[in-house]
Structure 1
Amino acid sequence: MLAIRKVLVALAAAAAVAAGLTAAGPTPRAQAAVPTTIPLEFKNTSGRSEQIYIYDIGTLLATGQQGWADASGAFHAWPAGGNPPTPAPDASIAGPANGQTMTIQMPKFSGRVYFSYGQKLVFKLTTGGLVQPAVQNPSDPNVNILFNWSEYTLNDSGLWINSTQVDMFSAPYAVGVKLADGTTKSTGHLKAGGYAGFFNALKGQPGGWANLIRTRSDGTILRALAPGHGIESGALPSTVMDDYINRVWTKYATSTLTVTPFANQPGTKYYGRVSGNVMNFTNSSGAVVTSFQKPDADSIFGCYKLLDAPNDLVRGPISRTLCAGFNRSTLLVNPNQPDTGSASFYQDAVTNHYARKIHAQMADGKAYAFAFDDVGNYESLVNDGNPQKAYITLDPFS
């Protein structure tokens, strides 16, 4: 689950940046703006008859404890786990029937809201904490359950909540936030016919991409694995991006890739040149500030390993820019990155077709189809500093 954790880290980092945090911490005014819990309106318009189960799981920001929240927003810490893993307490909340809406309370978490159809999810605890579902693992106890999740951070500075496809594309849903003036912001809705449209498009994509689709024995489509998990499970060739990677390496052996990682700091630039299997980045003084080994497809799709992005001000921002450029296949058409003009995204024959097809089916064009899909603000995220209410809407499959 490395890729999805990057999104949670990105949400927490965005929250910290928005808060303007310094050594002194947020101002008393910011702390008072957000209550201990806020309502989450959970609406079921899925068109399905199965019982819905909801789970609000995460880290309580006030204490750093991991646990879950019940429908009232009360926090429950996980008990100690074991080796082998032991069953976790039942954290489920019975959700609304199709056509119905219910409201629960969200505490100040950095975590996830899971929802499943027809069956409760299986969570276990190790000595290191909670074991979350791993959809790429065929022996995972949740592999035949239809489920999905949203990610959120709620803290003294506001709410950040997203819809995500970093690990998989599955049961459709949207997220939203109600502002103090009564208006709402939302994202995550598919176009009409977008759910079937995505799976049909993926089925028609040559090169192993159709193998990402997982179905249940009764014929129910459960999900499409993200391509990194496809490589991990053997569904997608590990060489699927090699041709593009090789062309990028050849191009920047004789020309310069300029990265301007901060939109609000246009003067901060780094310059990449390839030497052998390494791309070295220098600053304006010519000093090498970081270097990247030639990545493989897994590093690109997961934005980790050879494209690791630490939470710093140099390597991390360069890496996330490279990650976006590789996934969107913009590095050959534009030597100035990030390329934030979507017209050039996914135009190469070798690209992240999973991400391409997800974005094509989103009503607003936004998605979290890979960990740093927020480069250029193409992520399916809403936030507000004074949230009155959060929303999760289960959308129709048809």
Structure 2
Amino acid sequence: MFRLRRVLAAAVATLVVATGFTVSGPAPEAEAVPDTIPLTITNNSGRDEPVYLYNLGTQLSSGQQGWADAAGTFHAWPPGGSPPTPAPDASIPGPANGETMTIQLPKFSGRVYFSVGEKLSFSLATGGLVQPAVQNPDDPNRDILFNWSEYTLNDSGLWINSTQVDMFSAPYSVGVSDANGEVRTTGTLKPGGYQAVFDGLRSAGWGGLILDGPDGTPLRALSPGHGVATGGVPADVMNDYVDRVWSQYSSSTLTVTPFSHEPDTKYYGQVSGDVMNFTDGAGNVVTSFQKPDSDSIFGCYKHLDAPNDQVRGPISRTLCAGFNRTTLLTNPNQPDPDNSGFYADDVTNHYARLIHEQMVDGKAYAFAFDDVGAHESLVHDGNPSEAFMTFAPYN
């Protein structure tokens, strides 16, 4: 089924999230956003294999799932089956090493995939598209080098990210140009940063997240959210930190201010047994959280579920970010705005730590709510003239 990272899906509707990032209906310049904008793709990878592109998503005007060709023309998926049936070949030949090409992005909430060396395998279930599941050893795309960017283009502009929520793999950056030609980019690794992430995972004892290809070189590192399920990291890897958090807030208060534009909206957390209860300013309990396990923390779900509401969801997003960044013991006021103290505990999300360390701008989407405090690798413009994706060297 097609699932888009929640921050981009949020761009389609009115939403205020814990980051302070606000989308509130069409922007004043909405009429200037055309039906398609160019995506310029540059291949600086240094690799000679062919590249294949895929632009897959939901057409916002109709709500239909499908794909776009290089001209930005929408094609709806045919009906799927049970078991899933092969999807039509939606691939677009990509640029060779050292070359640049341009395709058109339509008003989609979707993903731009790219694969190196061979095409990806997609199928259609009765409910829609079945996408690659990198954590599944039986997935037909398991031995293919690929990655993707997520984007939403609508009447309020373009949101496009580089994401590592599911995996760290083929390196790339994204960018957007405004109407004046000013370009903003994100997702650019430091020189040597690609290999440094893999080396760092091994040094931290998290090398079990790394999946090698048939030639023995790394294809990707799974996120720890997938790694718990596959045995790449121990299921109890965050337990010691959680125990210390639970102990500290059994006798003190954790204050959460989930909206940067609403500094007077605060919730107060205290632990009682295995539950952390949050109260509002009047002392009313507004929501409660069971003591989370590592899987809940890395996946930002289960005991840290975040519904799209104005109370539990924003508190949960903030808690999830605090657990992953291990800032809950060092700052009782969350979210912590100072990234210099992120990932400083010995027990932390080393996957997220390493990826952020190796990004030129320090920004990444290393877990689902990495946008809390605007630390995510996302660029946005309300009147975009062009988008960019650049494949980087594997060093």
Residue identity opposite 2:325 in structure 1? R
Residue identity opposite 2:341 in structure 1? S
1:337 partnered with 2:341: no
1:159 partnered with 2:163: no
Aligned residues: 391
1:46 partnered with 2:20: no
Residue identity opposite 2:279 in structure 1? T
Percent of residue pairs bearing the same amino acid type: 68
Deviation at 1:3, TM superposition (A): 9.2
Any conservation in 2 of the 1:3–1:304 contact (CA below 8 Å)?
no
Any conservation in 2 of the 1:4–1:166 contact (CA below 8 Å)?
no
Distance 1:374 1:58 in 2: 22
1:316 partnered with 2:313: yes
SS of the equivalent of 1:320 reads: helix
Structure 1 residues 22-81: Cα deviation after superposition (integer angstroms, max 9, x where no partner):
xxxx37x54412000000001100000010000000001111100000000000001100
Taking only aligned residues, the RMSD between alpha carbons, in angstroms, comes to 1.6
Distance 1:77 1:2 in 2: 13
Distance 1:41 1:71 in 2: 11
Any conservation in 1 of the 2:352–2:367 contact (CA below 8 Å)?
yes
SS of the equivalent of 1:149 reads: strand
Any conservation in 2 of the 1:3–1:167 contact (CA below 8 Å)?
no
SS of the equivalent of 1:42 reads: strand
Any conservation in 2 of the 1:3–1:303 contact (CA below 8 Å)?
no
SS of the equivalent of 1:9 reads: helix
In structure 2, runs of 5+ residues without a counterpart are: none
TM-score normalised by length of structure 1: 0.95
Question: CA, structure 1 residues 187+98, in 2 after alignment: closer, same or farther (shift >3 Å)?
Answer: same
Structure 1 residues 78-135: Cα deviation after superposition (integer angstroms, max 9, x where no partner):
1100000000000000000000000000000011000000010000000010001100
Partner of 2:55: 56
1:386 partnered with 2:383: yes
Question: CA, structure 1 residues 240+13, in 2 after alignment: closer, same or farther (shift >3 Å)?
Answer: farther
In structure 1, runs of 5+ residues without a counterpart are: none
SS of the equivalent of 2:363 reads: coil
Distance 1:112 1:84 in 2: 24
Any conservation in 2 of the 1:33–1:157 contact (CA below 8 Å)?
no
1:221 partnered with 2:225: no
Distance 1:377 1:51 in 2: 35
1:368 partnered with 2:365: yes
Residue identity opposite 2:188 in structure 1? H
Residue identity opposite 1:37 in structure 2? T
Deviation at 1:13, TM superposition (A): 5.6
Structure 1 residues 122-179: Cα deviation after superposition (integer angstroms, max 9, x where no partner):
0000001000110000000001000000000000000000000000000000000011
Partner of 1:351: 348
Partner of 2:104: 105
Deviation at 1:182, TM superposition (A): 1.1
The match for 2:282 among 282, 285, 297 is 285
Any conservation in 2 of the 1:53–1:119 contact (CA below 8 Å)?
yes
Distance 1:156 1:84 in 2: 37
Residue identity opposite 1:292 in structure 2? F
Residue identity opposite 2:80 in structure 1? G
Residue identity opposite 2:113 in structure 1? Y
The match for 2:239 among 232, 242, 250 is 242
Distance 2:8 2:119 in 1: 23
Partner of 1:171: 170
